[in-house]
Amino acid sequence: MQPCERASRDADFERLFHAEYARVVGVAYQTIRDRQEAEDVAQEAFIRFHERYPPDASFAAAWLCRTAANIGLTRLRSRRRREHRELDHVRGARYQLVDPEEVLEAREQRRLVRDALRRIAPKKARVLALRYSGLTYTEVAAALGIRPDQVGTLLRRAEAAFEKELDRAALE
């Protein structure tokens, strides 16, 4: 690649990064619920994209969101590292959340949510991550490669499965 082409591609990539980074972090966060790791996931998605596709690809935003959801869900399933980090987070936040019961409640709720997301089918977890990170039905459809009118059905099934698993996790 010529230096001028490379510079142009870098500039396009930077524009893409600034335009989509917050949203991609939001998608990743919905899966792993850890701010620092969500940023790691988002950066990994951008790096993969950068290695494979031109930054002006029309599918860039949808691809990044889907990939972030996939990486996040994969990491969610290797829970040890995540929970270790969360413990550090809670320790670090002990002065902010002054009420110990509040700390425990927050931890417990995060654990229940994570367990439920881990147990439902990846396709359902993906649609929850995409929708609840703020994507519209059209954007969710683009990220999943389905029609917008199919999103409602998929989302409804995912929410039902999530609630069911949440109830089960609460009983354990």
Partner 1 sequence: MRHLNDGLLRLSVDEPRLVSEGQHVHLRECMACQRRRWEISASAGRVSRLLVEGVQYVDAQAALASALRKARPEAVRRGRPLAAAASAIRAAHRRPVALLAATLAVLSAGAISGLAQDLVTLLAQPHRAVVVPVAPGDAAGLAALADYGTISYSAPPLTRPASSAQAAEAEAGYAPLVPGAIAMGAPESVSYRVTPAYTVTFTFSAEKARAASQRRHQPVVPMPADIDGASLYVDVGAIVYAEFGSAAGGPPLLGTARMKTPIVRSSGVTIKRLQDYLLSQPGISPGLAARIRGIDDPAHTLPIPVLSTDARPEPIEVQGVAGSLLEHTAAAGTVIVWVKDGFAYGVYGSSSVGDLRAAAESAH
Using CB under 8 A, pick the residue from 124, 143, 155, 165 that binds partner 1: 155
Using CB under 8 A, pick the residue from 62, 73, 154, 165 that binds partner 1: 154
Site for partner 1 in 86-115 (CB under 8 A): 95-96, 98, 109, 113
Determine if 137 is a binding residue for partner 1 (CB under 8 A). Answer: yes
Map residues 8-37 to x or -, x wherever contact with partner 1 holds by CB under 8 A: --x---x--xx--xx--xx--xx--x-x--
> How many residues form the binding site for partner 1 (CB under 8 A)?
46
Using CB under 8 A, pick the residue from 84, 123, 148, 170 that binds partner 1: 148
Shortest approach of partner 1 to residue 80 CB, angstroms?
A: 22
Question: Which one, 62 or 141, has the nearer CB to partner 1?
Answer: 141
Residues with Cβ < 8 Å from 120, sequence gap 6 or more? 158, 161, 162, 165
- Is the alpha carbon torsion for 24, 25, 26, 30 positive or negative? positive
Q: Which of 1, 125, 19, 126 is nearest to 66 (CA)?
A: 126
Shortest approach of partner 1 to residue 41 CB, angstroms?
A: 11
Distance CA 6, CA 67 (A): 24
- Answer yes or no: are the C-beta atoms of 69 and 130 closer than 8 Å: yes
- Written as six digits, the tokens of 64 are 């990044």
CA distances from 103 to 85, 100, 117 (A): 15, 5, 21
